Amino acid sequence: MKAQQKWDPRANIGLRDQIGLELFNGQEFDKWVSKATAPAIESSLKFYEEVLGLGFKVFLLTGRAEAQRSTTTDNLHAVGFRNWEKLILRGLDDHEKTATAYKSEKRSEIVGDGYRIVGNWGDQWSDLLGYPMSNRSFKLPNPMYFIA
């Protein structure tokens, strides 16, 4: 019987180097956000426009910081996202919360303002989990990163 080997956290270094994976760097991400050049995902923009066309109010709930509101808004407008009801970004009091806790709290505020959440879509499970939940949830694929 072969002895069980202990897991070595360095074991994925070779794979990481081969396929170009990098650890998250908040400062580099902030620099990228400040450029306001993120492209739209065509299918997401089309879905967004269809939802607006059906008369639904759309709330954009992101983990980006409130300090990034201007560049985020500029970027969204530049790629075709317009006419949302509200863009919700992380305030100073939100940065220590997990993504699921933060987004659940903000969805609760939306419901508290008298709205009913009919549909919810996102590329992370933290976009969809927690309460309140929507009638329908749509999980988009994201092969680039995972937020716990």
CATH number, domain of 99, equals: 3.40.50.1000
**Domain annotation covers residue 9:** no
Look at residue 11 and tell me whether its pLDDT is greater than 70. Answer: no
In a domain, 146, yes or no: no
What is the secondary structure of 47-94 as a DSSP string? Answer: HHHHHHHTT---EEEEEEEGGGHHHHHHHHHHTT----SEEEEE-GGG
Mean pLDDT of the chain, nearest integer: 87
pLDDT recorded at residue 37: 96
pTM: 0.81
Whether 65 maps to a domain, the answer reads yes
| 15 assigned to some structural domain | no
Q: Compute the average pLDDT of residues 137-142.
A: 84
Q: Which residue has 């270094």 as its token pair?
A: 13
**Domain span including residue 115:** 41-139
Of 5-9, 20-24, 94-98, the least confident: 5-9
In which band, very low, low, confident or very high, does the pLDDT at 21 lie, cut at 50, 70 and 90?
Answer: low
**Do the domain assignments include residue 80?**
yes
Can you say how many angstroms the Cα of residue 131 is from the centroid of all Cα atoms in its chain?
Answer: 16
pLDDT-derived band at 147, boundaries 50, 70, 90: confident
More reliable by pLDDT, 148 or 60:
60
pLDDT, mean of residues 110-115: 97
The number of angstroms, rounded, from the C-alpha of 38 to the middle of its chain's C-alpha atoms is 13
Whether 99 and 122 have beta carbons less than 8 Å apart is answered as: no
Note whether 135 and 117 are within 8 A (CB). Answer: yes
Q: Given a cut of 60, is residue 18 above it in pLDDT? A: no
Domain count, the chain: 1
Has residue 109 been placed in a domain?
Answer: yes
Query: How large is the average pLDDT for residues 23-37?
Result: 90
**Residue 104 maps to a domain:** yes
Residue 26 lies in a domain: no
